[in-house]
Amino acid sequence: YFEVVPSEHLERAIAIESDRMRYAFLRDEDRQPEMTVVRNEFERGENSPFDVLDKNIWATAYQAHPYHHSTIGWRSDIENVSTERLKEFYNTYYWPNNAVATAIGDFNKKDTLSLINKYFSEHTKSKNPIPGVYTEEPIQEGPRRTIVKRAGQTEIVGVAHKTPQGRHKNTYAFQLIGKILADGKTSRLNRLIIDKGLATSIFIYDFPFLDNGLFITYVFLTPGTEHAKVEEIILKEYNNIISNGVSAEELKRAKAQMRATVAFSRDGTYAVASALNEAIAIGDWTFYTTFMDNIQTVTNKMIKDTAKKCLVEDQSTTGWFMAVETTT
């Protein structure tokens, strides 16, 4: 939960969040209309070729771990979850010992800590231990594929590979690989795919998580472009990095691009709060403060070694979105 308020209303925001933590009154008559709101949000995702493909790639890549499930869940979850089940979830996880309070902005540090203590100290810690995730994803033993055929205007190729935990040193190499492959008109895949008229856009998803994640290259195809052709180009460029690494100039440019990206993404109190709390979710708040220092230590050898270890066929999940005509 985030609140962006003038500093003179900070106490009210803290009081609201403290109240939300343990005093939420979950009524069935409130759940029913809210269910339709969440279902509408789910349906908007179902109408997006990218969202649908992304959900299917994650569900195919991760079969045991909870990352198999999208954040919003499945339609039947939204429509059928009971108010009692919501209360059970709330009373299991909404406790001070399972939360982090973060304040960013123009305020007095001592006074703010006093306010947090004033309002949150009325809550005890949870009576029972907070359940942890004990399910581990089994080792993948071969490439996986998923194809989605739906009505739509866009055809997409997604090539995903499993990545280590977010705190692993390879995370920083992957961040720069993504820049070298797809950030800007001079990036490798832009020159090989966009400039050849095979696609309208490319982007790479490589967000670090607490547990293992995915490094995914998404390509939005131009009409008539074959999925297999673009997939082949992506994999060939991965193998190029595995065999030859990257040039000193590419690495230097990628680090400069990352500095700009980080500076822009941390512009403003909300942006800082979001980035800092993502680091906390990864498992270490210093991921936020040391990120660029670690980026600077990445070498060509680290990039080559990371690609060789992770961008391999047996760790891959490939997805195609294929647009089909609707019948009336």
279-318 pLDDT tens trace: 999 999 999 999 999 999 999 999 999 999 999 999 999 9
User: Domain limits of the chain?
Assistant: 7-120, 144-324
For residue 239, the SS3 value is helix
Report d(CA 274, CA 2) in Å as an integer. 8
Of 298, 293, 217, 291, the C-alpha closest to 251 is: 298
| pLDDT recorded at residue 327 | 66
pLDDT, tens only, 202-237: 999 998 999 999 999 999 999 999 999 999 999 999
**High-pLDDT (> 90) share of the chain, %:** 93
Domains 7-120 and 144-324 share a fold: yes
**CATH fold of 7-120:** Cytochrome Bc1 Complex; Chain A, domain 1 (3.30.830)
pLDDT, tens only, 68-88: 999 999 999 999 999 999 999
Report d(CA 326, CA 123) in Å as an integer. 55
User: How confident is residue 13, by pLDDT bands cut at 50, 70 and 90?
Assistant: very high
pLDDT, tens only, 231-282: 999 999 999 999 999 999 999 999 999 999 999 999 989 999 999 999 999 9
- Tokens at residue 7, please? 């500093």
Q: What is the mean pLDDT of residues 137-155?
A: 94
Q: What is the mean pLDDT of residues 130-149?
A: 94
- Residue 316 per-residue DSSP state: E
In DSSP terms, 322 is beta-bridged to 149
User: How confident is residue 89, by pLDDT bands cut at 50, 70 and 90?
Assistant: very high
pLDDT at position 19 over 80: yes
| pLDDT recorded at residue 152 | 85
> Can you point out the beta strands (E) in the chain?
144-151, 155-163, 199-205, 213-221, 316-324
Q: What is the mean pLDDT of residues 165-186?
A: 96
For residue 220, the SS3 value is strand
Report d(CA 129, CA 28) in Å as an integer. 27
Label residue 283 left, alpha or beta by phi (over 0 means left) and psi (-120 to 50 means alpha).
left
| pLDDT recorded at residue 153 | 85
What's the mean per-residue pLDDT of the chain?
95
Q: Are 104 and 76 in contact (CB under 8 A)?
A: no
- Tokens at residue 240, please? 């190029």
pLDDT at position 328 over 70: no
Query: For residue 184, what is the enclosing H or E element?
Result: none
User: How confident is residue 326, by pLDDT bands cut at 50, 70 and 90?
Assistant: confident
Q: Name the architecture of domain 144-324.
A: 2-Layer Sandwich (3.30)
Burial class (CB in 10 A: 0-12, 13-18, 19+), 260: exposed
User: How confident is residue 325, by pLDDT bands cut at 50, 70 and 90?
Assistant: confident
